[in-house]
Amino acid sequence: MSRNNRLRPVLISAFIFLAGISSVQAQQQIKIVGSSTVFPFITSVAERFGKNTNFKTPIVESTGSGGGLKLFCAGLGNLTPDIASASRRIKLSEVELCSQNGVADIVEIKIGFDGIVLANSRSVELVDFSQRDIFLALAKNIPNENGQIIANPFFNWREVNPNLPDVKIEVMGPPPTSGTRDAFVELIMIAGCETFNWVEELKTSDKAAYQALCQTMREDGVYIEAGENDNLIVQKLVANPAAYGIFGFGFLDSNTDIIQGNSIAGISPEFENIAFGEYPVSRSLYIYVKKAHVNEVAGIEEFLSELMANKASGPDGYLADKGMIPLPENEHELWSLRAANLQNLQF
Amino acid sequence: MNRHFSVRSKHLATRHRFEVIFKWFGRISIFLALGFLVLMLAIIANMGAGALQQTRIALDVPLLQEGFDINYLDEADYDGLIKSALRQRFPDATSRSQKRQLNNLLSIEAPFTLKKYVLKNPDTIGSTARLWFIASDDVDLFFKGSIELAPEGNAGRLISEAVAWVNELKAAQAIKTVFNFNFFTGGDSREPELAGIFSALVGTALSLLICLAISFPIGVLSAIYLEEFVAKNRWSDFVEINITNLAAVPSIVFGILGLTIFINGFGLPRSSPLVGGMVLALMTLPTIIIASRAALRSVPISIRHAAIGLGATPIQTIFHHVTPLAMPAMLTGAIIGMARALGETAPLLMIGMVAFIVDVPDSIFSPATALPVQIFLWADSPERAFLEKASAAIIVLVVFLIIMNLSAIILRQKFQKKFCKNNF
Q: Which structural domains are found in chain A, ordered by start?
A: 31-114+283-340 (3.40.190.10), 115-282 (3.40.190.10)
A286 bridge partner residues: A86, A110
B57 bridge partner residues: B133, B175
The answer, for A231 touching chain B at a CB cutoff of 8 Å, is: yes
How much of chain A is helix, strand and coil, in % rounded to 5? 45, 20, 35
The answer, for B256 touching chain A at a CB cutoff of 8 Å, is: no
Which contiguous run of DSSP H or E holds residue A98?
helix A92-100
**Does B418 contact A6 at a Cβ distance shorter than 8 Å?**
yes
In chain B, what percentage of residues exceed pLDDT 90? Answer: 34
Taking 80 as the threshold, does the pLDDT of residue B199 lie above it? yes
pLDDT of amino acid B423: 47
Specify whether the CB–CB gap between A347 and A92 falls below 8 A: yes
Q: CA of A99, closest CA in chain B: separation in Å?
A: 19
**What residues in A contact B96, CB-CB < 8 Å?**
316
Nearest residue in B to A234, CA atom: B382
**What residues in A contact B138, CB-CB < 8 Å?**
none
Q: CA of B276, closest CA in chain A: separation in Å?
A: 14
What's the CA dihedral at A19, A20, A22, A27 to 10 degrees? Answer: -160
**What residues in B contact A40, CB-CB < 8 Å?**
190, 381-382
The answer, for A119 touching chain B at a CB cutoff of 8 Å, is: no
Q: How far apart are CA B322 and CA B326, in angstroms?
A: 6
Q: B95 to each of A232, A241, B87, B91, B92, how far by Cα in Å? A: 35, 35, 12, 11, 9
Write the pLDDT tens digit of every residue in A301-337.
999 999 999 889 988 788 888 888 888 888 899 999 9
Mention every residue, 6+ apart, whose C-beta is less than 8 A from residue A266: A128
Q: CA of A127, closest CA in chain B: separation in Å?
A: 21
pLDDT of amino acid A128: 92
Tell me what the mean pLDDT of segment B291-303 comes to: 90
The answer, for B156 touching chain A at a CB cutoff of 8 Å, is: yes
The answer, for B74 touching chain A at a CB cutoff of 8 Å, is: no
pLDDT of amino acid B38: 94
The answer, for A316 touching chain B at a CB cutoff of 8 Å, is: yes
Nearest CB among A24, A251, A257 relative to B382 is that of A251
Residues 95-114 of chain A whose Cβ lies under 8 A from any Cβ of chain B: none
**Does A323 contact B352 at a Cβ distance shorter than 8 Å?**
no
Sign of CA dihedral A250, A251, A252, A253: positive
The answer, for B303 touching chain A at a CB cutoff of 8 Å, is: no
pLDDT of amino acid A22: 39
**Does A11 contact B217 at a Cβ distance shorter than 8 Å?**
yes
pLDDT of amino acid B69: 79
**What residues in B contact A79, CB-CB < 8 Å?**
263, 267, 269-270
**What residues in A contact B366, CB-CB < 8 Å?**
26-27
Nearest residue in B to A71, CA atom: B352
Q: How far apart are CA A218 and CA A230, in angstroms?
A: 20
SS3 A220: coil
What's the CA dihedral at B79, B83, B88, B89 to 10 degrees? Answer: 100
> Which value does ipTM take for this structure?
0.78
Residue predicted with more confidence, B100 or A152 = A152
**Does A59 contact B382 at a Cβ distance shorter than 8 Å?**
no
Taking 90 as the threshold, does the pLDDT of residue B221 lie above it? yes
**Does B355 contact A59 at a Cβ distance shorter than 8 Å?**
yes
Q: Tell me the pLDDT band of B421, cut-offs 50, 70 and 90.
A: very low
B160-169, B221-230, B245-254, B403-412 — which is least confidently predicted?
A: B403-412
pLDDT of amino acid A318: 87
Sign of CA dihedral A334, A337, A339, A344: negative
Taking 70 as the threshold, does the pLDDT of residue B8 lie above it? no
Q: A152 to each of A138, B114, B269, B315, how far by Cα in Å? A: 8, 62, 51, 73
**Does A24 contact B365 at a Cβ distance shorter than 8 Å?**
yes
Nearest CB among A17, A40, A248 relative to B213 is that of A17
Q: Tell me the pLDDT band of B208, cut-offs 50, 70 and 90.
A: very high
Specify whether the CB–CB gap between A233 and A244 falls below 8 A: no
pLDDT of amino acid A149: 85
A193-197, A239-243, B150-154, B214-218 — which is least confidently predicted?
A: B150-154
What is the amino acid identity at position A297?
V
Of the residues A3, A31, A311, the best mutation for testing chain B's interface (the one with the most B CB atoms within 10 Å of its CB) is: A3
**What residues in B contact A43, CB-CB < 8 Å?**
190, 356
**Does B359 contact A57 at a Cβ distance shorter than 8 Å?**
yes
The answer, for B112 touching chain A at a CB cutoff of 8 Å, is: yes
**Does B189 contact A47 at a Cβ distance shorter than 8 Å?**
yes
The answer, for B103 touching chain A at a CB cutoff of 8 Å, is: no
Q: CA of A304, closest CA in chain B: separation in Å?
A: 18
Q: How far apart are CA B171 and CA B106, in angstroms?
A: 18
**pTM for this model (two decimals):** 0.81
Q: Per DSSP, which regions of A199-294 are E strands?
A: 223-225, 244-248, 259-261, 263-264, 282-290
SS3 A293: helix
Residues 355-414 of chain B whose Cβ lies under 8 A from any Cβ of chain A: 355-359, 363-367, 377, 379-384, 387
**Residue A291: what are its φ and ψ, rounded to 5°?**
-65, -35
Specify whether the CB–CB gap between B374 and B393 falls below 8 A: yes
The answer, for A253 touching chain B at a CB cutoff of 8 Å, is: yes
Sign of CA dihedral B67, B69, B70, B76: negative
Right CATH for B198-423 from 3.40.630.40, 1.10.3720.10, 3.40.50.10490, 3.40.50.11540: 1.10.3720.10
What is the amino acid identity at position B134?
I
**What residues in B contact A121, CB-CB < 8 Å?**
none
pLDDT of amino acid B293: 92
**Does B387 contact A231 at a Cβ distance shorter than 8 Å?**
yes
Specify whether the CB–CB gap between A113 and A281 falls below 8 A: no
Assign residue A147 a region (left: φ > 0; alpha: ψ between -120 and 50; beta: otherwise): left
CB crowding A57-81: b at 16 or more within 10 Å, else e: bbbbbbbbbbbbbbbbbbeeebbbb
Nearest CB among B321, B354, B358 relative to A50 is that of B358
Write the pLDDT tens digit of every residue in B323-374.
988 888 888 888 888 988 998 888 998 888 888 988 888 888 888 999 999 9
Of the residues B212, B383, B411, the best mutation for testing chain A's interface (the one with the most A CB atoms within 10 Å of its CB) is: B383
**What residues in A contact B419, CB-CB < 8 Å?**
3
The answer, for B205 touching chain A at a CB cutoff of 8 Å, is: no
Nearest residue in A to B353, CA atom: A61
User: Which portions of chain A are predicted below pLDDT 50?
Assistant: 1-4, 14-15, 18-27
**Does B356 contact A316 at a Cβ distance shorter than 8 Å?**
no
